[in-house]
Structure 1
């Protein structure tokens, strides 16, 4: 095959999103005669999308140099801009800054304004967004949008609106920010945006849906991302992140076996080159292991997730709680909350409430619950409301207000049911059972616990199921005894093996009185022998 044929076939495969074929044909053509700068740029994109980020950066560097050789400064600046973005994504800040500086120098040589000027603003905007300056980021993203509109550049327009939406959410206007993200996805799903910006947009939008607890949106856009990835089966970049999001959604909806499979798939993509999947793949696996009682395995998974550089909270703190160390859990979660920006802090609040109650520090738990309630008033999405009501119910219960707890917990349970989140719904019923017992409603408490126990077993939450089972036994054993206090004393001595004469001596009664008490015991309990009475005493913990 000649180099020209390889280039033609590589270009055709590239247009049709057949990334492996595009890579192979363009690579072979490059080895047999070299590639012009635009095709080197295509080869770099194919390498990045199939997971070879290092090779892609090297090829894009060659494309930049080739553009300079042929005098195409605009093409060289475009390569420099994307190199800055890609290197920023793989946390090579110095190299990223270097390429940005080169692009900014070269752009001055352009004879007339160009869209690449807007592209060079993208690393600047991202630096502000992730550096804690969402207001500054919004302004720079708006400038990028102006370039996109002026030069009819759909990629810049989409990335601008994406960044403005992210910044708006970070500034506290969640609904407006999400509307912007929806608009981005209109362009992406219509095929108006090129592959790399499309992947960036898909993953960012789904991530922010999770960050803002917008479960219906997360489901819809994760489904769209999954469809997009399935249409590009040889694409590695973004595919692992998609599997991570699927794992989180499967876990929420009680499909825990499927969640583990999706987490494993994310890990496989991480090995192939989707570095961003490393965190989600192992963190979600850790969550499943923690909830199913495999605590050592969960610890190992969280440690692997931490290698990505992302925080593994609240999972690690909740793992400490599961291991019986609430003080260490408190230290970890408080540190994570203190170091987090507002959007991430809100995701930590439910765990903070749970851990502060376990210590217990009721003042801190109430403070965290109130903060979650304030967020629910700003952003009254169903999942936020459910989390807020659940936290308030747990705190009310600890504060000695079971009536208030029941109102909040019933509200939370109904929303979890509507959202199809069985594990959290079952946790609400366990808390509601404690509140019912506190107001003397043992029958409702038992029904709540039995329903929760069945749900925990269904999803595979062994530790939670065992806890519910122990509470059920506690209720059954706490049923009012039909025996008088004196009859209980006689029954205990019968169970210890003593004859009527010895019992009479111990209790300073006559043998006739002991015999009458024993007859009453048999009658009330429906028993016919001392052996049966002894068994009853042990089953109802009247004796050790």
Structure 2
């Protein structure tokens, strides 16, 4: 045995022990001194993938594929082809990825029943089907993958089938059944029965499902479990980065915006050339952090970076436009985003929540009520705690904006309690602002002040400058549950401005001004501009009209 043989033996052992860097170094050194067989090139291709070296993994995988085909080893060649395909697909290179999957399919078409066929079906029929129009078809394919795994005694394939069917059922609203299947799949992961690359896929999919459902507590538990698993598999650049995405999402909910920002920046840096969708989500999360802090220019740059990588920047960008006073742009943005998601209620849920807020600001109560009703229906179907909290918040906001402060109280209290139990301080504080307005409208000024003080304390601790500014602007205690935009319109009206002048000043259309005024009249119980102006003067919302100078005799 020569020195290169020793190097190769040590590299194979390092690979078996999941010491990816050592395996890559040894296999690379061996490849520089001799022509490696396809099986060893396949190990080098895989080690490079674990280390996040996508270009190297693709190049070595291509060589391994050719060698294995030439050696008459179609199953191993197909397995490598699947790995090369995944590299391309994660980078958004769909045509190349599908071509490599086609190569794998061609090699496996004439083979007896084998695990590689099941993994190929999992990618092409189950995972691809989860984003398609017929989730029942994806669920059926997942059941077939699971059955194949059982016939072949392939535990990883069984778990993949359970995961795929579970996610399909979750999206169909069959939450208890779907969660039961995810729990079964994750039990196999926890016992160490699965191939590590597929175990990582199951962890990532389970975290994503919990976040999608708004099950924040379960998402936190699985994120912690994923971090523990990552400690056992070496560097695992891809899976570590995906875990950081979910960790950033959870930090954002928990009000730990500094950690959310750092995790999102790491994702953008580490996964830029490996996983386009995850990097795009990292940029979107950076946009959210900057928006909440009032850093509008930086937020817009982050949203643009997310969009460039294929991530719809909504509803964050729409809410940024709302904060900038561009209500019509915000309404148009969230409306078109909803049009683009006609059959995905879980994807529509955050858009609906944003549309409620934007529509109320635009005095478009029919749209606000419709979006709130859809959000309530989604929360009822999928039973996610965060979805339920958002639905109750939206329902309360709509009732409050419609002059139904008494009816709004119950929904807003439910929402505030739910957000607090979920450890979501920012959302709880936003609900407290609405509660303060409801109590004030009902004449309970003490409770209104307490709710407002709690909101101010939370916004100050978080650094939520836009929310603090909004609260400061509303110190005058708007009557009748008027929104901040309605108060602006009322102030201009009291100064004698026409609808056209008000629209120009606030950068909204005359039609929107008219809607705002209709709401103002209803909430104040008046029927004329003169009467509305009188209320504005009496409540200190507009300076009194100066007395006219005496006319010369």
Name the TM-score, length of structure 1 as normaliser: 0.84
d(CA) in 1 for partners of 2:545 and 2:367? 41
Deviations 1:188-226 (CA, angstroms, capped at 9, x unpaired): 232222222122222111111111101011101111122
Who is 1:114 aligned against? 114
d(CA) in 1 for partners of 2:437 and 2:320? 24
Q: Output aligned runs, 1:76-475, within 5 Å.
A: 76-110=77-111, 112-125=112-125, 126-232=127-233, 234-271=235-272, 273-340=274-341, 341-471=344-474, 473-475=475-477
CA spacing shift, 1:307–1:202, aligned 2, 3 Å: farther
- Give aligned pairs, total: 483
Following superposition, the deviation at residue 411 of structure 1 comes to 0.9
Following superposition, the deviation at residue 541 of structure 1 comes to 7.6
CA spacing shift, 1:417–1:7, aligned 2, 3 Å: same
Following superposition, the deviation at residue 233 of structure 1 comes to 5.4
Alpha carbons 2:91, 2:275 under 8 Å: kept: no
d(CA) in 2 for partners of 1:35 and 1:84? 22
d(CA) in 2 for partners of 1:165 and 1:455? 38
Alpha carbons 1:236, 1:272 under 8 Å: kept: no
Deviations 1:430-454 (CA, angstroms, capped at 9, x unpaired): 0011111111111111111011100
Indicate the larger mover: 136-145 or 224-233.
Answer: 224-233
Who is 2:53 aligned against? 52
Alpha carbons 2:20, 2:234 under 8 Å: kept: no
d(CA) in 2 for partners of 1:88 and 1:63? 19
Following superposition, the deviation at residue 118 of structure 1 comes to 1.5
d(CA) in 2 for partners of 1:105 and 1:262? 41
d(CA) in 1 for partners of 2:275 and 2:82? 21
CA spacing shift, 1:310–1:132, aligned 2, 3 Å: farther
Following superposition, the deviation at residue 136 of structure 1 comes to 1.4
Following superposition, the deviation at residue 409 of structure 1 comes to 0.4
Alpha carbons 2:7, 2:26 under 8 Å: kept: yes
Alpha carbons 1:240, 1:268 under 8 Å: kept: no
d(CA) in 2 for partners of 1:359 and 1:94? 43
Following superposition, the deviation at residue 429 of structure 1 comes to 0.7
Alpha carbons 1:2, 1:29 under 8 Å: kept: no
Unaligned runs of 5+ in 1: 478-537
Computing the radius of gyration from Cα coordinates, the structure with the larger value is 1
Following superposition, the deviation at residue 416 of structure 1 comes to 1.1
Indicate the larger mover: 80-89 or 347-356.
Answer: 80-89
d(CA) in 2 for partners of 1:382 and 1:101? 42
d(CA) in 2 for partners of 1:95 and 1:475? 60
Following superposition, the deviation at residue 91 of structure 1 comes to 2.7
Following superposition, the deviation at residue 543 of structure 1 comes to 10
d(CA) in 2 for partners of 1:268 and 1:84? 23
d(CA) in 2 for partners of 1:192 and 1:118? 17
d(CA) in 1 for partners of 2:122 and 2:371? 36
Following superposition, the deviation at residue 88 of structure 1 comes to 2.9
Following superposition, the deviation at residue 424 of structure 1 comes to 0.6
Alpha carbons 1:442, 1:475 under 8 Å: kept: no
Following superposition, the deviation at residue 344 of structure 1 comes to 0.8
Alpha carbons 2:281, 2:311 under 8 Å: kept: no
CA spacing shift, 1:3–1:307, aligned 2, 3 Å: farther
Deviations 1:163-182 (CA, angstroms, capped at 9, x unpaired): 11121122222332222222
Alpha carbons 2:90, 2:274 under 8 Å: kept: no
Unaligned runs of 5+ in 2: 480-539, 547-553
Name the TM-score, length of structure 2 as normaliser: 0.82
**Greater relative contact order, per chain length (Cα 8 Å cut-off, separation 6+):** 2
Following superposition, the deviation at residue 476 of structure 1 comes to 12
d(CA) in 2 for partners of 1:108 and 1:318? 50
Alpha carbons 1:124, 1:140 under 8 Å: kept: no
RMSD: 2.4
Alpha carbons 1:290, 1:298 under 8 Å: kept: yes
CA spacing shift, 1:156–1:83, aligned 2, 3 Å: farther
Following superposition, the deviation at residue 101 of structure 1 comes to 2.7
Q: Output aligned runs, 1:513-528, within 5 Å.
A: none
